[in-house]
Amino acid sequence: MSSKTELQRMIVSLLKTLPKERLTHYASFKQTQLERFQDAKVIEGISEDDLKLQYVALRELVNDKYKNYYKLDDKLLRPKGNPEYYERLLKEIKGDGKETLLTAMRTVVFGK
């Protein structure tokens, strides 16, 4: 039981380190999972091995295992057809540089 409590503590502390979502969605992964893994009843119904696997999976996601394993290069991340696409998108989401009416019109008319 103590090992399960330890795993629960590790999962919760890992979930707490997750960044706040930039956009407000209908549900937040961080909040929902925090509530789930802080609930003693939920933990009771999960075996120690399964809980460990949940922790391992979460840790691998946090450590960007797949982003580093399947590395993409600039071919996809700065696409030829629209090199600024992801930069503009992230700027807009982060609120660093808002689109003006002119740039928005340009996107609608020319597609980029």
In the complex, the smallest distance separating the C-beta of residue 100 from another protein, rounded to whole angstroms, is 20
Q: CB-wise, 62 or 104, nearer to another protein?
A: 62
Q: Using an 8 Å Cβ cutoff, are 65 and 96 in contact?
A: no
In the complex, the smallest distance separating the C-beta of residue 58 from another protein, rounded to whole angstroms, is 5
Q: CB-wise, 6 or 60, nearer to another protein?
A: 60
In the complex, the smallest distance separating the C-beta of residue 101 from another protein, rounded to whole angstroms, is 20
**Following CA atoms 68, 25, 22, 88 in sequence, which dihedral angle do they give, to the nearest 10 degrees?**
80
Q: CA 87, CA 108: separation in Å to the nearest integer?
A: 17
Which residues of the chain form contacts with another protein (CB under 8 A)? Answer: 18-19, 21-23, 25-30, 32-33, 35-36, 42, 45-47, 49-50, 53-54, 56-58, 60-67, 69-73, 75-77, 79-82, 85-86, 89-90, 93, 111-112
Q: CA 59, CA 4: separation in Å to the nearest integer?
A: 16
Q: CA 86, CA 7: separation in Å to the nearest integer?
A: 37
111: left (phi over 0), alpha (psi -120 to 50) or beta: left
In the complex, the smallest distance separating the C-beta of residue 19 from another protein, rounded to whole angstroms, is 8
